[in-house]
Amino acid sequence: MQIKVSGQTAYVYNGGKQPTLDALRQQPAVVFIHGAEQDHSCWVLQSRWFAYHGFSVLAPDLPGHGRSAGQPLASIEAMADWVVALLDAAGIEQAIVIGHSMGSLVALEVTARYPARVAKSVLIGSALPMPVSQALLDATRDDEPLAAEMINTWSYSAGGQIGGNTVPGLWLLGMNKRLMERQKKGVFHTDMTACNAYRRPAESLATISAPLLIIAGSQDKMTSPKASRALLGFIPGARLVGIEGSGHALMAERPDAVLDALRAFVAGV
């Protein structure tokens, strides 16, 4: 689906369906927000399940990413405003918001600043703050192939480095490398800088009232399980699901486990 958001064309994947805007408004909406140097395709399994089980799915390419027009947004706050503008453009009053990595910060900001627009929220591979090493920041600016290699090294568990794809014949690291390569030049640095700069005070999360789930990989080297657990102390009623054996790229390494956690929390099945 192509939709105008803030005057620019955005691509929104609908989980394999081709609904009209009117049809989107007839079911509970789920918004999937991708991470840095990614696009909607990281959500293929999870988005398709929800699309075919009674939910309207919006998995956008953020501005400047994938098939969406415009330049990448320079801050998490601007991305959160854009997600709400997407809901406005689609005529959706309230949605379930799910984000991974950078997208989890966007989901958190939407949940904190726009409580009336969020029915439930899920943060996958999250931490607050989410600092990025200077070496990686420099590489995203000066040497994107090197930055991609660094991300692949840190994003996958030890098992994921040598195989483990649930689809025989497909290579986890190769797939992620190709996904990063197809993003526009400059997106990588803008995204990572936004993550590094995000400084919402953890104490401010006490006002969150929407049910919230945190999903963490036990071998995550980028947003450690310890950092994910720390968020629990600031968000009333928040729950944590740990996924054993997964690194930061949870939807790729443990797609079924992520889907099971989302189904239980969002759909109650």
SS (H, E, C) the chain: CEEEECCEEEEEECCCCCCCHHHHCCCCEEEEECCCCCCHHHHHHHHHHHHCCCCEEEEECCCCCCCCCCCCCCCHHHHHHHHHHHHHHHCCCCEEEEEECHHHHHHHHHHHHCHHHEEEEEEECCCCCCCCCHHHHHHHHHCHHHHHHHHHHHHCCHHHHHCCCCCCCCCHHHHHHHHHHCCCCCHHHHHHHHHHHCCCCHHHHHHCCCCEEEEEECCCCCCCHHHHHHHHCCCCCCEEEEECCCCCCHHHHCHHHHHHHHHHHHHCC
pLDDT confidence of residue 142: 98
Q: Residues 35-57: what's their mean pLDDT?
A: 97
Q: What is the mean pLDDT of the chain?
A: 95
- Would the pLDDT of 171 be above 90? no
- What's the confidence (pLDDT) of residue 169? 67
| Domain coverage including residue 58 | 2-267
**Structure confidence at residue 117 as a pLDDT band (50, 70, 90):** very high
| Interval 133-155 mean pLDDT | 96
Total count of domains within the chain: 1
Q: Is the pTM of this model over 0.85?
A: yes
Task: Specify the pLDDT at position 267.
Answer: 86
**CATH code, domain with 82:** 3.40.50.1820
* pLDDT bracket for residue 185 (50, 70, 90): very high
